[in-house]
Amino acid sequence: MREVVKVEFLPLAKFLEIHREYSLMGNQMENTCGLYALTYILRALGYREHGGVKVSEDYLAYLAKTRIAPEEEKARREAMLKLLYGEASFSEVTEKYGKVMYRYELATTDNPSELGTSAEGVKHALEVVTNGELVGVPIPSRRGDEVYFTEDNFMKLTKLLMDKIDEWEYQAILNLQASKLINIVSPYHDIFTALFTPNPELSIGPNPWSVGHFVSLAGFIHVVDGSSERIYFLLRDTYKNAGYRGYHVQPVDSVRRALVRDDGREGGIMLIVKKEIAPRVEDAIRDLGLRVGIWNNGTPF
């Protein structure tokens, strides 16, 4: 008798609405991965403007106090001057400077470890734009050498999040170390190998990109293969050449290791929930023996 493999996809709330907004965006600008993810999530949830300003990754980066390199700010100013004095067309300028054409002046830093956005910045931008209707519930993976996301605790958290998709109607942004994921660079990220081999980390290999990164959670995939079951995260990346048009499947323990990190930074998961249920969500997380609080990914707020 042929053995049947059962695959169940558990999308987060508003999956199609978020996918539509996501598909309209190009790749992220430099150092705005967390705000890129927040942009399409907020737009899909109905938060398209704030105080008459269009919700965009660079506006959210301004609110979040994202830090960029001095050379990026210099290139941004060059682009704006070329447009102002008609030295180049808009399409010519965007082709050359598109990844640094922030419409808002951002803080700069000479320290590469401080580039990007803090977890506190993502939370702040979220709550400002939604006027506190939505809040961020930060779940740190570790504090210094103390790891909270042990294999057992992280599996409990994963199953809690799977169980609460409908009740909490949450979204989630993950701050992780990209090199701990399985390879997401097309064409090496094979979804069938990822789902149907017992050791996809070995079959596909590690992701070559070693930096800290933000991605959003699209949902979970539950695979039952005979007597064994496996759980995967479906992640939505800020680069469309990752995985399949920006989506990639990651085994639970690859995600855990990526969140725990070993690069001297801390990682974590930012849940986005309605303000009125936040205390209930926080209590459920603490009941697992986990913490609620901002993690330090190296970027100041």
pLDDT of 1 above 70? no
Mean pLDDT of 129-154: 97
pLDDT score of 186 more than 70 = no
Higher-pLDDT residue of 188, 255: 255
Which of 74-83, 202-211, 215-224 reaches the highest mean pLDDT?
215-224
| Residue whose structure tokens are 């999530």 | 41
Q: What is the C-alpha separation between 126 and 119, in angstroms, rounded?
A: 11
pLDDT digits (tens, 9 = 90+) for 86-132: 888 888 877 787 777 788 889 999 998 899 999 999 999 999 999 99
pLDDT at 2: 60
Residue 66 to residues 30, 79, 104, 257, 270: CA-CA distances in angstroms?
Answer: 10, 20, 11, 25, 17
Whole-number pLDDT of residue 193: 87
Tens-digit pLDDT profile for residues 45-54: 999 999 999 9
The upper half-sphere exposure of residue 77, i.e. CA atoms within 13 Å in the direction of its Cβ, equals 8
- How confident is the prediction for the chain on average, in pLDDT? 93
Domain boundaries, the chain: 5-27+133-287
